[in-house]
Structures are given as C-alpha cells and as structure tokens.
Structure 1
Amino acid sequence: MRKKIDARIRTLVENCVKLRQRGLFVVIGDKARDQVVNLHYMLSKASVKARPSVLWCYKKDLYMSSHRKKRMGQIKKLMQRGLLDPENEDPFSLFVASTSIRYAYYHETQNILGNTFGMCVLQDFEALTPNLLARTVETVEGGGLVVMLLSGLSSLTQLFTVTMDVHSRLRTESHQDVVGRFNERMVLSLASNPNCLLMDDELNVLPTSSLIKYIEPVPLNADGAPANDPSRASASELRDLCDSLADTQPAGSLLAKCKTLDQARSVVTFLDAASEKTLRSTVALTASRGRGKSAALGLAIAGALGLGYANIFVTAPSPENLKTLFEFVFKGLDALDYKEHIDYDLVESTNPAFGRAIVRVNVYRNHRQTVQYIQPQHHAKLAQAELLVIDEAAAIPLPTVRQLLGPYLVFLCSTVNGYEGTGRSLSLKLIQQLREQGAKLASSDAVGASGSAGRTFREVTLNEPIRYAPGDPVEKWLHELLCLDANAHVPRPPTKLPHPEECQLYYVERDTLFSYHKASERFLQSMVSLYVASHYKNTPNDLILMSDAPAHHLFVLLGPVDESANVLPDILAVVQVALEGAISRASARTSLAKGDLPQGDLVPWTISQQFQDADFPSLSGARVVRIAVHPELPRAGYGSRAVEQLKRYYQGDITRMDDASDDDEAGGSGGRGGGTAAEGKKRKGGRAEGDGDKGSTLRTETVTPRAGLPPLLVNLSDRPPERLHYLAVSYGLTQQLFNFWRRVGFEPLYLRQSASETTGENTVVMLRPLQHPEVADSEWLRPFVEDFKGR
C-alpha cells in the first residue's frame, strides 16, 4: 500500500544537499532496515551528482551476505522455498544490487578512515561506542546522511537501559551494576540537533524531533546557490589567492589543488619556509579532523621537490596512515607536470604488516631526489635530511618527537580534537616549547645576536572543513556529545587564586553530570577540557568510563564556594578514581593459577601476580585514574591538596560525626558495590517524560531531561565513604611525576621492564596505605616496598 511520506523528511534531505550539511536520521522499529531504501532514493533524487555510495557498519550478523556470489545463492534458496517472487523483487534487493555499498564490521572501521561516503548506516546499536560513532560519522560528506537503525524498541527511553557490549568490559567482580548514563545523554542530545530527525519504521516523525517541526525549504538564488551560503566569501578569497600566485611556481600550480582558503594559506606558509632553505626551522599545522591536513602536507612535499630538496623524510605511526599524504604528493607532482615512470616512481612496502603501503618515492627529473618513510624511533637515520615531515605527530610519543627535531626544516601536523583525541598534549607541550624558542630567537635577532641555537617557528591552524560546509550541525552535535572541542571549553582560572588549604574536594554526582541539563553540560565540558589539557592521550571512549563504569567516581577541587552566587564554581583540579579489589580469595587463586586475569582491578592483579600473593586482591583500594590540574596553575599545590583530601575522605576523617554510625553500612564491605545500590535508588526518582506511562507509545512520548535530580556537587562530609585499605596510582614513569607522587606519600611497588608503545615510558604502580578499622598493623605495606627495592 502506497503511503504519503511526511514532507519534513524530504525537506530535510534536500536542505542538507543544498547547504552541503549532513543529516542524521534515527529509525526505530523492527523494519527500520527497509526505510534505508527510501532515504537513499530521496538522497539520490536531491543530489545532482552520481548515486551516493553507502557505508554499512554492523557488529556480527548482516541481513544477508555481503559477498555477491553468496548473496545470489541465498536469493536462489529463497526462491526455491517460495519466499521470493523473481517477477516482483523487493525494493531492498534492488537497492543492494544497484548501489555501491561498503560493508564493515565495527571492529574493522579503522580501515575506512580517509574514505568518503554519501550515506552511513549504523545497525546493532548495542555495539556502538563513542570512538566508533566519531569514526564512522566523520566519513560522511556534506549533503550525505547518517542513518541509525534501532530495532526491538517500543519506546525511546528503553535505550536508557540497553545493555551495551562495552558494558561487559566495565564490570569487575565487586562492581557489577552498570548504569547507562551515556545512552540517556545521547538520546536527549538528539533533540537539540536541528538536522536530526527521529522516526519509526513507517516514516512517522516522532515528537522528540521538536526542532524539525517547522522546517522550511532553503531558498536559492538565481545561480542555484543557497541565499545565505557562508562558504561563498571563502571560495571567492580562495580564487583571488590562486590568481595572485598563478605565475609563481611551484605555488601557483599547487594551490589549484586546494579545496579551502585555510588549506591554501597553509600550503603557502609551508612553501615560504621551504624557499628560505634555512636550517632549524619548524612549521606546525594543527586542526580538527577532516580539515585537509595530510593533503596540505602532501602538496607541500611536492612543492619542496619542485624547489630542489633532495632528501625528504616522512614519518608517522604507520605508513598506512600516509595514504592521503602520498596521494596528494602525486597530485602535486602531476600539477607540476611530473610524469610517473618518466620523472618519478614509487616503492611499496614488502612488510605484510604495512599492507603494501607506499614507503618511498624516487624522483629523477633534474637530479636524484627521494621521499622516504622512516619509523619514528629511527631518528638516527636523519643525518642527511633536508626536510622532515611528521604526520599525526600527536600519536607519536612526545620524547620521540623531540628526538626527531634536528638541523633541518621540519613540517609537523597534529589533530587537536576528533576521535583520536591525542593532539592536545602535543599542542600544549611541544608546540608551546617551540613557540617560546621562536620568540627568543626573534628577540635575539632584533638586538643583533646570533640566535643559531634556537629554532624559528611558524604555526598554522585549519578551521574550515573539507568534506562538508562550515557550521555543520551534525559536527557540532557530535563534538558536544563526545566533548571533542576541548580547546573552546578550558575554563578560565579564577582572578583571585585561593590558597590550597582553602580549597575543598567535592564529589560529583554522575546522574546529574550526565543528565543533559544546561548547567551540567557546561560543567562536564569544563571537566573533560581539563582532562585533555593535562593528560597525554584521551579518546571519546574515556567518556563511557566517566559515565557508566560502576567502579569509577569523580571529584573536583574547588576554591571557596559562594552558595548564594548563581554561577558554576571555578574548577581547579579534577580527580577520577576507580575502586578496585575486594576480590574473593577463591577467585584470586583460580585466576592466578590459570594466568588468565580478568579485566579491571589493575592494581590488585598486577601486585598479586608480581609478588605471587593471592591475598592482596582481597584488600580494597582506590586507583587514581586521572588527576588533572588547570593548565595555567601548575605546581601551585592544588594537585597535592586534592590527593590529601582524597586520602582523608577514604580514611573517614572528613565524614560528619552523626554519620559515623552509617560508615560500616555504606562502605564496610571493603568497597564492594561502590555505592551503586544507592545510585540505583536515586535514579528511580526522576525519569524522562513518557517512560513511566504504560500507555506511552513511540509516536506520543516526548523525552526530556529527568527532574528531581540530586545536587551536582556533594560535600564530602555529606557522603559516607567506602572504607579502603590503600590508594594507588599507575602511570608512565617520568622524574617529575615520580617526585610528585613520592611527595604525597606514595611508595613504588611495581615497574614494568618494557616501555609503553604509546608513550615511550615505563609503567610504575605506587601505593599509599590508609588507616582501616580491620587492619591493626599500619606498616603492612612495608614488606612489599622492601621487596621491590631489593629486586
């Protein structure tokens, strides 16, 4: 039976195409898959270019085999059973046969990075993680659609309690009750995205899509362009820049390959530095994902070859990461009239682990020139280098990047946010150091000094996206949901800095933090921005640990709080702890005997395995997962104050006297349960609208943030602590960090013999014993420390 489709669906698809923005469609119902055909048809009709390609991501089981021959066999079996009429083939089979579809398991989605699709379909919602969401959505081009399929649901609020696959990795023996706060926040955030539309499997628009209620078609000018297109001015400036440098080679030919004004300006900056041919010069390029960093580096390398550079080295975590870079090296060479096999040839890797990635380009038009890939740790091979290009420098350990710098021109680029989430540390540490050196060199040149010991430094930032238009609502929604745009939310330090002794540690109520209220959102963004500014590596998946992990708890250090002021307090430090231990002796002995240690409980399993002590896991402790101090307030004593307050809290020194009788009930079990039972009771109080009504249906419910939430910040004296035996920390060993943890009373018990591939540092585990009513010997940790020192 034919049915008239809601005009708002078609209008949103057409508006996305006109504005080069992406649309997000959430289809709920057991037949959601069938509506992909209709959405793709509407997208094809609205697009003037070729039929959009599709990326289809799934966990394990597809609706039908992705292998064409196997699929034909399945269709043949259906025909033999009389379940398929060959004369009246269903639209979905026609869609599959006539569309270019790339199928990808979720665990293989790293292989689709750098590719671009017109539509992305995400099925098996329970397998999604923040990393996967960011990785897949970013592959969709402007004017494309992201379609999420949710089957087996009769209400949106059922998503709040869906058991996600990632939850199994968050449970430990003593902390089993996972609360799906991330899902709740994600569902609530969909209503704030103007390019998001929620509908059932019959294409009925759901009331939650309130912003789409009065959507109007975008008006077009006489030339067919949108009336208010912000990218037109940028495109005009790009044309003017290309025209002004058309007679300047190699810049004139290379700029014609640039897609945005920002990208063209970055290539000009690279070529300016290359044309000077001075030693000890660095150009740093930072940007979010999808801004064309690797393409700009590739064009810059082609320009350097045109300027006569003979020995160019390129490094990245893996040569597979350089696919886009080398693609644009060749595009640049083609623009400069170089011919493959005549003027240059390429060499692919013979290492199976690198998958035939390009590792060398030999150029011999005027004289012998090479572009050679080297692994980051092989910095000793750079003796004859004239130019070194470091792609995705933030994914390389910071000490290694420093060793790569030398007496040659250096181009480096880094992602400062995005799903990798690794770039903030590099921008803060290495780039800040290079910036200071460059400033010193400039001042010394001004007074006539030599300045040969420093490096000149230039910095370029790309803001305009390549795949889609600036200001894309789906990008804004994704960045806010996953807290990716950390640079914009780093809180300002207070104008009057309080003395550390005046500061107090507060417990953060996670139900309220992830409730999607406006004040809670600002506080969450500020907390994550401090994480990113202070820690070496962050990924969106860290948000799941913060929100859903039953053993994890959050604290913030605040200055004196004026409760009458209607503003959020200034955050001086954030502490995230994971309750560990309280493992039964039987489980510990069984796991140690098998050598198969469960996930979680990092410190108990590490120490028990190292010292062959099956009793240690039965002790309860709190591991400091992260402690992030405001980046503008280092060494001010706030980190030490936070750790000291944490120690006093878990020892029971802060709890009010009238609550002392409740301590054993709250935490006397040695941390078992981690307070999740109490949290579960609190969560039953306020629910999203429509969840509690049995008659509520998908088409009538409106999902809104819960009411009756507890306060966001809880004074430690108002929350009974879990009584613990020790505080612990595990981190990459550096002299500065070791001095800090020793100063606050921690003792080393374990040092990993091999360095981490991520950080280039050796992991160390340190503990500090706490006073516990069940432990008479306060020196119980001393034998472990002496044993460690004697090794």
Structure 2
Amino acid sequence: MRHSGERRLLVLSGSEAWCMSQARMLVNDADGNGLWLGQAPAGQAFCATGKFQNALGREYHHLVFNAYSGLHPDAFGATLGTVMAGGLVLLLCPPLNEWPAYADPDLVRYVAQPEQAAGLHSRFLHRFASLLQQDPSVLLWQQGGVFPALPALSPVPWQRQRDRRGCLNPQQRRALTMMLHAARRRQPLVLTADRGRGKSSLLGLAADRLLGAGYRVLLTAPHPGAAAQALAHCDRPLNFIAPDALLAQHPDADILLIDEAAAIPVPMLLTLARRYCCIFASTEHGYEGTGLGFQLKFQPALTALAPNWQKVHLDMPARWSSQDPLEPLIFRLLALDADPLTPPREGELHIAWVSRRQLLDDDRLLQQLFGLLTLAHYQTRPSDLRHLLDAPGLSLVVAFRATIPVAAALLIREGSLPAELEQAIWRGRRRPRGHLLPQSLAFHGGIKEACQFSYQRVMRIVVHPHCQQQGIGSRLLHWLQRVPQRDSRQQEYDFLGASFGASTELLDFWQNNGFGAVRIGLGTDGVSGLHAAMMLWPRSAKAQQLLPLWRGQFSADLMFYRRGLLQDLPDDWWQRLKQLPPVLSAGRDRDIAHDFAFHHRDLLCDQAALARFIQANTPLVALSRRQQQLLHSLLAPGATPAAVARQQGLAGQKAATQQGRLLLRHFFMVSSET
C-alpha cells in the first residue's frame, strides 16, 4: 500500500474485547506514529473520541477507531484524513447486523437527556453499515470468520517528492506561482480543493516567500487547529489571528491568508476582503462542510467587490495517490459531497413532509436534501447528517419541482418540560442539551413559563440559490402555519419559532411572515459577528394570548439595553425588534430579582429587570452608601461585571456578580424554595 500510495479500511466486527485484541496484534506502534481513538486495551495510549481535535494537525501511519466508544461522525471524517499513504484504518464495531441497535454513546449528543438515547435504532448506523458491506475496497473481518483476502494493488509505484519550492506536483507549483503573483499585484485569489490536496501547505509556503520578500502577512482561520498545516510549512514567524479579533483590532497587513474560508460567514469574509488583500483557501467538500455555499454565495459577492479576482483549483491528491479508495469511501459514508441538483426556475411547487424512513430508503434523495440543507448554515458538519437521521423529534418539509428538491425546512420539537426541570432551568441550575427556544426564553429572556409550552423550532430553512427571490421560503412557512394540528406527521404545539444570526434581511423575512421578536442576544457570535435573534409565531389559542405579553416584556427590556449593551445596533433595527409597546410586570421583575439573589440567574440577562426592581422597591435591610454605589454600578446600562470589578477593586467578574446577589438579598426576608 505504501508502494502504491493507497490507504485501506479494515473493519473488525464482533465483541469489543475480540476487536481490541485483534487490533492490538495487528498494529505495531513502536514508532509512535499511530493513533488510537476511543477506548483501548490496558497500557495502550488513546485519545477520547470527543477530543479528536487534539489529534489533528499531524499525519499518522495507522489509525484505530473504536466505534464501541461512539461513532462520532466529525471525529471519523477528520481523523481518517490524517492517515498518510500506505496507512491502515482499523474500525472496531459490533456485528454489522446488530450495530444499528447498539447503545452507541454518540447518540447521547442528539437527545436532550441521556435516558432518551436508550432503545433508539440508529438509521445513520444502518446506512453506514450497509455502505461498508457494499464497498469492494473495504476489508471485513468478522468474529468467527476468516481474515479477508488482501486486495490487488497497483503495480505502478507512487512517489511523493518535494521540489526546491516545497511543492509536490505541477498543480501545486502552478497554484503557488499564481498566489505569489496575486499577492504582489494586490489581487484577491481563491484556492479551492478537496482535503489532502495540499492547499494549507501552499498557504504556508506562500507566506514564507512573501515574508522573506518583506511583506506583512497575517493568517486567519475559523479556529487555530485549522491553521496548523499552514504554520508548519512556513519557516518564518507567521502571526495567526482569529477572524473576530481581525474585525475588532484592525491590525496592519499587506496580505491576509484565510484558511477554511467556507467555514467563515460570507459577511465577515467580505468585510475582510474590503480591508485586506486576501488569499482565500477552502475545501469544496469535506468535514469542514459548506463548500458549495462558499461557491454560490461568496464568490459572486467577491466579483462585485473585486472583479479581477482569480481562482485556482487543486484536484491532484498530495498526501496519497489518485487510486486511493479510502477518501471516496469516506465521502459516501458521511455524504461529504452531497450537492443538491439545480432545480428549474419555473414550474409548480409541491410541498410535503419527508420522513427519515424515506431518506434511508432513497439515498439519492438523502444526498440531495442534505446538500440543500448545507447551504443554509456555514458550519455544517457530518454530525448534522447523523442528527438528520437519528435525532428524536425532528421533521422535514420539502418543496419539490417535479422530483427535484427546491427548498426545505428542518424542524425540531422542543418544550413541554417537566416542572422540576423547568424550575432548574429558570434558576440556572440545569442546562440540558437541546430545547433551545424554551431554555433561552426562560433563562436569558426572563419568561418563567416558557418551558411549559411546546415549540416547533425551524432549525434551518433553505431555498436553492437558483430559485431564490421567488417567495418560496415564505410559501414553506405559510404551509407550516396552515397544516392542520391533526396532521399525522405533526404533534400539536403552541409556537412555531426560529433562532438565527440576525441581519436586516432575515429580520424582515421572519417579520413579514408573521413572527414576532422575543429575544436578541446581548453579545455577538465569535464567528459570524451577528447577534442571535429569536422570533415566534403563535399557533395555539393560549400562545396567541401570551405572545403579546412576552413581546411587551421584550420591548421593555430592549429600552434598557438600547442605552447600554445594544447601543451599537443599527437604528433601523429598533422598530423591527420593538413592534409592541412595553409591558411591565412588577411580579415578573420580583421573581427574577429573587432567583438572581438566591440562585444562579445571569446578571447581564437580568440587568433590565433588576434595575426596574431596585428602583421600585426599598431594601428590607438598609444598604450602606458604598453598597448602594456598587449595586447601582452593576445595574447601570452598559455595565459589565468585569468592568465593575476593575472599578471597585474586586477579584473579578465572578466576585462582582456574587456581590450583586448578596446585595439583592437585602430586598427579601428569606429565600423561598417554592
């Protein structure tokens, strides 16, 4: 395999003890250049599956992936890409016909509470095991069976030798020349490739040449791990800076290198392109995801900004030969190349529910829909494929033209939580996985009863770019708003809702479809630079009564935050967000103040209610002048506990928040646990 530049997958299928025993005998880690992911035999070094990022940034001769510890799709996709030519991947798993019913530890990531994973039959693993058995390149060794016959390999030797520039093939040499030429002429350039083609290495080589010529060069990527290969191939000091820090600090640079650009939101990329001469590098497919969205959304916008930008593409593998069977296998298993078909712009729309059973029975439809859904979010990963197939409470509605998906909405059922859990969330003592809308509205939004109600949250809604600006997204929402409660695909619920990175365009879209704002995040997302917004549409009669009150409370809080933490929001947003007059509730403010004082509610989220409460009430135990000053400092518009701690000489933001809790207790006789 090393002679032919290929890699192979050997599946060990049986009991965990048998699988680990055979793997231990098969692999020789004397050179320390192997990786064992998941539980390992005693004395064998291993990396926990959930910490797979720690294993990235280097290459391995072999990989053992223990799926008994959970088949984490992101970990599987990412770590198999680190195996070099000639490498062997050992996948340890239960008997293939029993695997979908195995209590896979990774399933816990897709449910709100761990006990919900018990007894789930994994459609993802069913598809995964079927594809393994269908692929002739996979070596399958089952417990009690014979060792598989070794495959015939290419007689032509594969060679990997760097030239004097550090390039491995003619494509890389051409790409490096184009990158250096574009940098010198201050022209943007986009470098695209599937992984393993050496694009990150080329960024490092280009940086080294440019730094040597006296250019000021910066490197950015969605996270530091994504920049490891570029840094490793630059022999000179190359500064890495995160995208949000770039936007905040405006450091000087002649050239900005952006790795994994598809995982950075388009607005942020365009802002960087206006400030710097940029070289963008990105996988078009791969576990980083969103390559097609990068192609369809960003590149036309870049043309409007810089018509002279250039593009270079790498398709010749650098880390393994073009005959390698492992990479195409990974793509099939994880739908990494799931691109949607281009639908016709005209024609009748047919909207319908699509079940997960249909997706499992029709892999072509699954690939088309998953490819379509990746266009709606800039951080799609293989775990989203498993979420689509396995997550309880998930549903999918699709708009077709003929048989081609044009648009889709992915929904998840949330809310109707037990009273004990509801109170623990409200008081900041529990934060179970999932249930985003009710949890955030209760804990961050100060709506105590939010967890009692049921929600259908629109996780993603997407229209194929070829058919946008035709009102199709609105038609999908109207269909959901009209579908009868008795529909067999849909359990009854109170609110249809959404949480998204707020932009003027999206706020208008949801508002024009009858949704009202109930929350805006006080901070911005580190990658997108956007505030999170939550909007609801009332379905049940009870929801129709309550939503104006919730929105009125939101309007009251918004008036406070506009003078402080949200003062930089665009002026035209305020009427979009504050559509109803403020509704003040002394009882609600008192509940928030009490449970902030005696439990673990959040200071910044409660700041507006707390400020109203202390203004309307007198402490039962008098506060000293210094205590009054400290309390008013903590509750002033725009104040943060970290800043107050510095001003008041406190140990830090935790100490400042705790002082706030102690001072609020002066307004109450005793803590009530009811």
User: What TM-score results when the alignment is normalised by the length of structure 2?
Assistant: 0.76
1:570-585 counterparts in 2 under 5 A? Answer: 570-585=404-419
Per-residue CA shift, 1:19-44, capped at 9, x if unaligned?
A: 32211111123322232355447xx9
Gaps of 5+ in 2: 558-674
1:378-527 counterparts in 2 under 5 A? Answer: 378-379=246-247, 384-406=252-274, 409-439=277-307, 456-486=308-338, 489-494=339-344, 497-498=346-347, 502-515=348-361, 520-527=362-369
Please give the root-mean-square deviation of Cα atoms over the aligned residues, in Å: 2.9
Contact in 2 for aligned 1:122/1:147 (Cα 8 Å): yes
Inter-CA distance 316–558: structure 2 relative to 1 (3 Å threshold): closer
Equivalent residue of 2:297, what SS? Answer: helix
- CA shift for structure 1 position 608: 2.4
1:126-165 counterparts in 2 under 5 A? Answer: 126-150=69-93, 153=94, 155-165=95-105
Match 1:63 to one of 13, 37, 41: 41
Inter-CA distance 466–157: structure 2 relative to 1 (3 Å threshold): same
Partner of 2:109: 169
- CA shift for structure 1 position 758: 2.7
Partner of 1:619: 453
Per-residue CA shift, 1:574-623, capped at 9, x if unaligned?
A: 11100111223343124434531322111112222345444332222200
- CA shift for structure 1 position 460: 1.2
Distance 2:482 2:294 in 1: 35
Match 1:790 to one of 556, 561, 568: 556
Per-residue CA shift, 1:184-206, capped at 9, x if unaligned?
A: 11100102222212113466158
Distance 1:110 1:762 in 2: 27
Contact in 2 for aligned 1:35/1:203 (Cα 8 Å): no
Per-residue CA shift, 1:768-789, capped at 9, x if unaligned?
A: 01145xx4x8433111111112
Amino acid at match of 1:161: A
- CA shift for structure 1 position 508: 1.1
Amino acid at match of 1:159: W
Amino acid at match of 1:26: V
Distance 1:526 1:160 in 2: 23
Q: Does 1:200 align with 2:142?
A: yes
Amino acid at match of 2:13: I
Equivalent residue of 1:514, what SS? Answer: helix
Q: Does 1:272 align with 2:181?
A: yes
Q: Does 1:105 align with 2:48?
A: yes
Contact in 2 for aligned 1:126/1:163 (Cα 8 Å): no
Contact in 2 for aligned 1:748/1:785 (Cα 8 Å): yes
User: What TM-score results when the alignment is normalised by the length of structure 1?
Assistant: 0.65
1:756-771 counterparts in 2 under 5 A? Answer: 756-771=525-540
Amino acid at match of 2:57: G
Contact in 2 for aligned 1:179/1:550 (Cα 8 Å): no
Contact in 2 for aligned 1:284/1:411 (Cα 8 Å): yes
Per-residue CA shift, 1:349-377, capped at 9, x if unaligned?
A: xxxxxxxxxxxx2xxxxxxxxx5444432
Amino acid at match of 1:585: A
Per-residue CA shift, 1:538-594, capped at 9, x if unaligned?
A: 0111112111111111111123x5xxxxxxx01111111001112233431244345
Amino acid at match of 1:278: R
Inter-CA distance 119–726: structure 2 relative to 1 (3 Å threshold): same
Equivalent residue of 2:47, what SS? Answer: strand
- CA shift for structure 1 position 318: 4.8
Amino acid at match of 1:506: A
Inter-CA distance 555–459: structure 2 relative to 1 (3 Å threshold): same
Match 1:631 to one of 457, 465, 478: 465
Distance 2:549 2:292 in 1: 40
Match 1:300 to one of 200, 206, 219: 206
Distance 1:161 1:134 in 2: 22
Contact in 2 for aligned 1:35/1:201 (Cα 8 Å): no
Q: Does 1:217 align with 2:152?
A: yes
Inter-CA distance 408–109: structure 2 relative to 1 (3 Å threshold): closer
Inter-CA distance 756–437: structure 2 relative to 1 (3 Å threshold): closer
- CA shift for structure 1 position 470: 1.7
- CA shift for structure 1 position 536: 2.0
Equivalent residue of 1:405, what SS? Answer: helix
Per-residue CA shift, 1:434-474, capped at 9, x if unaligned?
A: 234444xxxxxxxxxxxxxxxx2011111122221125322
Greater C-alpha radius of gyration: 1
Gaps of 5+ in 1: 1-15, 45-49, 67-101, 207-211, 243-252, 331-345, 347-360, 362-370, 440-455, 562-568, 653-662, 664-715
Match 1:324 to one of 194, 215, 229: 229
Q: Does 1:184 align with 2:162?
A: no
Inter-CA distance 37–617: structure 2 relative to 1 (3 Å threshold): closer
Distance 2:203 2:428 in 1: 50
Distance 1:217 1:321 in 2: 36
Distance 1:111 1:20 in 2: 26
Equivalent residue of 1:198, what SS? Answer: strand
Contact in 1 for aligned 2:57/2:225 (Cα 8 Å): no
Equivalent residue of 1:598, what SS? Answer: coil
Partner of 2:171: 262
Inter-CA distance 318–477: structure 2 relative to 1 (3 Å threshold): closer
Give the number of the structure with larger relative contact order, counting CA–CA contacts within 8 Å between residues 6 or more apart. 1
Inter-CA distance 607–24: structure 2 relative to 1 (3 Å threshold): same
Per-residue CA shift, 1:298-337, capped at 9, x if unaligned?
A: 211233245x33322333345554332233222xxxxxxx
Distance 2:384 2:168 in 1: 33
Equivalent residue of 1:484, what SS? Answer: coil
- CA shift for structure 1 position 397: 4.2
Distance 1:327 1:491 in 2: 38
Contact in 2 for aligned 1:580/1:604 (Cα 8 Å): yes
Distance 1:741 1:267 in 2: 45
Distance 1:590 1:200 in 2: 47
Equivalent residue of 2:227, what SS? Answer: helix
Distance 2:342 2:266 in 1: 26
Distance 1:389 1:169 in 2: 34
Match 1:54 to one of 30, 34, 47: 34
Match 1:542 to one of 380, 384, 393: 384
Partner of 1:26: 11
The range that moved more, 173-182 or 289-298, is 173-182
Distance 2:516 2:428 in 1: 29
Distance 1:613 1:425 in 2: 36
- CA shift for structure 1 position 720: 5.2
Amino acid at match of 1:491: L
1:62-81 counterparts in 2 under 5 A? Answer: 62-66=40-44
Distance 1:168 1:318 in 2: 25
Equivalent residue of 1:31, what SS? Answer: helix
Equivalent residue of 2:9, what SS? Answer: strand
Inter-CA distance 54–380: structure 2 relative to 1 (3 Å threshold): closer
Distance 1:324 1:587 in 2: 45
Distance 2:47 2:151 in 1: 35
Amino acid at match of 1:262: Q
